[in-house]
A and B are shown apart, each in its own frame.
Chain A
Amino acid sequence: MNERQRSMPALLLAALAGLLLGATGCKKEQPAQATQAPAPQGKGVVKLVYVNWAEGVAMTHLARAILEDRMGYQVEMTMADVAPVFTAVANGDSDAFLDGWLPITHKDYLERFKDKVVDLGPNYEGARIGLVVPSYVKASSIEDLEGLKAELDGQIVGIDSGAGIMTTTEKAVSEYALGLKLVPSSGPAMTATLKDAISRKRPVVVTGWKPHWKFARWDLKFLEDPKGIYGGAETIHTIARRGLEQDKPEVASFLRNFKLDDQQLGSLMGAVAETRDDPARAVREWAKQHQALVDSWIPKA
């Protein structure tokens, strides 16, 4: 008994090492599993990165479905946080990111990497950032927040400190002399606070942006911004690595053509949200219903 037990750790370690070693041989299996859809012909791999934001999840899955089903590429998708995503594109390790918010939210990243990334232009116009409240809150403009200071516990619930919307909100707080404190938290904490306040019908004000799933889930409104601190509408851009246009011109021009309007993105996000766990199927279904639009994106040979 003891003898056998003694050999167990050694055995386990050996088995592990064997797995790791033998494993390198199995590398070829991966691509075979990934291609289930019949593709015209293999033209190489396109690497798309995305952040787990609803609009980006929907658009990136749609782009993947089209690149694979209609254009014969193989697509690798990687989900990560926003800073690593920009870093990967700038580094040339990823081909494109479809969820770059301009001119304000992701300005810092774009300035920092301006020599290393290429802006392929907007894929959605009419995005917006600002201060958001549930529709039952009496305020209709940022100026009205003054009078609600006590009920709001003197605070605006923000997201990650350092995000573009935070800098802009700091400016709004001082320009409107609100006397409210902008509390940095995170996207999830912001939506959780919102959920909590709504369930108790309490007033709350958060830094918000659109498109965002929160507008589908709850009845919310943007506060008017008479001083125009938050600027006009934001647009979502596709950001590509430098060199994509040279080595994969067809992919680059597809990504340039890829554009959705408010109603189209809304229905796409809705479809993805409904299936929850299977965005790939939802976007293929959506693409079938929007054949003409999808055709117009695919570059003619």
Chain B
Amino acid sequence: MKLRLGEGFERLIDMLKERFDPFFHSLADGLTAAIRGLEAVLLLPPSYVIIGLLAAASWRLSGLGSAVLSALGLLLIDKMGLWQATMETLALVLSAAVVSLLLGIPLGIASTYSRWMERLMRPVLDLMQTMPAFVYLIPAVLFFRLGKVPGMVATVIFAMPPAVRLTQLGIKQVPRDVVDAAIAFGSTPRQLLFQVQLPIALPTLLAGVNQTLMLSLSMVVISAMIGAGGLGEEVLKGITQLRIGLGFESGIAVVILAIVLDRLTHALGQSRTRPS
């Protein structure tokens, strides 16, 4: 006898869709507006303004070398005519990362409080990271329609686990005697968390932010299959019509964006580790 696990999943999806359709749709509308808005903000000033801002930020955070690299890379993207697609992708990646962190960090903190929570979370996180994205793309389309939002949902599912895991790891690494001392001096649990554990865990936590951003970027091509647009769409156009040049250029743009984001967030974590 064959166990029909998939049929159960299908029925669950149908049921959720029927029950919560208006909710999912208004959520989708809200998120679409947010992502589109961020896109509009990024595209509002001429490209060199954004390039300048990003280069300045990476100068401040990780030095002149990174700033020059970022500026040159972004200029190259602009010259290849991929600026709009790149900003669309950046908007999608940033929105997905913000949602991932808003969900992931509290979940990570929660899992340090209870072993039960940690045990429950682990297989769920494994599932989120290893389930092939194609499997949940269609349910995402059913709930959130075609476009940027299902793309963002797929990205969040894929990119959130490191935020949870590294938050948890960071807090666990806080030396026991520091925690004991804080308790001995009479800190409340809230003080312990916000003034002792989180500040010490911050470098690890920021490594989680960095990971989340990198993983988000690697989802862009897949989310183009459900209409998310941006660089993924260009890559997809390149590969489905064997326009190797276009595929390569948009692929390079993804890499440049990854380098820029990595330098920015990596430096953020590094500056923390220096003794104050």
Contacts and interface: CB of A to CB of B under 8 A. Distances in A.
Given A78-B147, A93-B146, A8 B60 contact: yes
Interface stretch (A62-70, A173-181, A184-192): A184-192
17 contacts: A6-B276, A19-B41, A22-B37, A29-B40, A54-B241, A79-B224, A79-B236, A80-B225, A81-B226, A83-B138, A84-B141, A84-B146, A84-B226, A84-B227, A91-B141, A188-B240, A276-B243
Contacts of B236: 52, 79
Contacts of B240: 52-53, 187-188
A88 B146 contact: yes
B88 interface: no
Given A23-B38, A27-B36, A9 B81 contact: no
B146 A94 contact: yes
Q: 7 closest Cβ contacts across the A-B interface?
A: A23-B37, A81-B225, A80-B227, A93-B145, A78-B227, A88-B146, A188-B239
B268 interface: yes
Contacts of A30: 36, 40
Contacts of A6: 272, 276
Given A20-B38, A87-B138, A87-B141, A8 B61 contact: yes
A80 to B, nearest CB: 4
Interface string B128-166: 000000000110011001110000000000000000000
A91 B145 contact: yes
Interface in A69-100: 78-81, 83-85, 87-88, 91, 93-94
A50 to B, nearest CB: 10
A5 B36 CA distance: 31
Interface residues of A, number: 42
Contact of A91 (B36, B81, B142): B142
Interface of B: 30, 33-38, 40-41, 57, 60-61, 81, 94-95, 98, 137-138, 141-142, 145-147, 202, 206, 224-227, 229, 233, 236-237, 239-243, 268, 271-272, 274, 276
A195 B242 CA distance: 9
A283 to B, nearest CB: 16
A292 interface: no
A53 B237 CA distance: 9
Given A2-B274, A94-B146, A24 B37 contact: yes
Contact of B41 (A9, A26, A85, A88): A26
Given A8-B61, A29-B40, A79 B141 contact: no
Given A26-B37, A88-B141, A188 B242 contact: yes
Nearest to B151: A80
Interface residues of B, dominant DSSP: helix
Given A20-B95, A94-B146, 15 more contacts: A2-B274, A2-B276, A5-B272, A20-B38, A23-B34, A29-B40, A30-B36, A81-B225, A81-B226, A83-B138, A84-B225, A85-B146, A91-B145, A188-B242, A191-B241
Contacts of B227: 49, 78-80, 84, 88
Given A78-B146, A191-B242, A12 B40 contact: no
Interface of A: 2, 5-6, 8-9, 12, 16-17, 19-20, 22-27, 29-30, 49, 52-54, 78-81, 83-85, 87-88, 91, 93-94, 187-188, 191-192, 195, 213, 276-277
Contacts of B145: 88, 91, 93
A16 B138 contact: no
Contacts of B142: 87, 91
Contacts of A188: 239-240, 242
Contacts of A54: 241
Contacts of A94: 146
B138 A9 contact: no
Given A8-B60, A91-B142, A24 B34 contact: yes
A195 B243 CA distance: 12
B88 to A, nearest CB: 12
A46 B253 CA distance: 32
Contacts of B226: 80-81, 84
Nearest to A213: B241
